Amino acid sequence: MPGTRVLRQLPMETPVSERNGARVRSSGLSLGFRLILGSLLLLGSSCLLYGGWLAYERWNAPIEFGHSEEEIYKNVYNETMQEPIVRNWEHWNYLVDLGISDNPEVLPYFAYSRYYEAQKPWMVGSLVTGAIAVAAFIGLSFLGFRRVAG
């Protein structure tokens, strides 16, 4: 380690602010910029997770989408015509006793279809919002670190 005599003989360097007449830059990103980046990352990841979960749920739905009421009733009718007459009579009595809204063959398709169709805008909106937030996070990160490095 050099002594004080050697250190005193070294030329003194002037600070950057005095040489260029500019302000001394901070060594990192400002707190506000970091909060914006963190918020974008949190928003993007949470939206992508929620949208991905809805997409996974829709992909594994127990129904095939795109059938009309006429197709469903036609399929039920064709299946019913394949059954013996006694079975149809029992089924008819069952429908008379409980009502058609409780029919286990028809109701689940429409209930599932309504549920998944109601979730579709949330799924698409979450995925798009998440992608935009992650893209903004990446873009602002590059700009911020480029500003600090430059």
What's residue 75's pLDDT? 77
What's residue 12's pLDDT? 74
Q: Report how far residue 133's alpha carbon sits from residue 139's, in angstroms, rounded to the nearest whole number.
A: 10
**Identity of the residue numbered 85:** I
Q: Report how far residue 10's alpha carbon sits from residue 90's, in angstroms, rounded to the nearest whole number.
A: 106
**Identity of the residue numbered 66:** G
What's residue 147's pLDDT? 80
For the chain of 150 residues, list the mean pLDDT of each consecutive stretch of 10: 72 62 59 92 96 92 73 76 81 72 60 85 96 95 80
What's residue 15's pLDDT? 60
**Shortest CA distance to 28 belongs to which of 37, 16, 20?**
37
What's residue 94's pLDDT? 76
Each residue's pLDDT tens digit, 98-119:
766 555 555 677 778 888 889 9
**Shortest CA distance to 124 belongs to which of 39, 75, 32, 52?**
52
0.85 surpassed by pTM: no
110 contacts: CB under 8 Å, gap ≥ 6: 69, 72
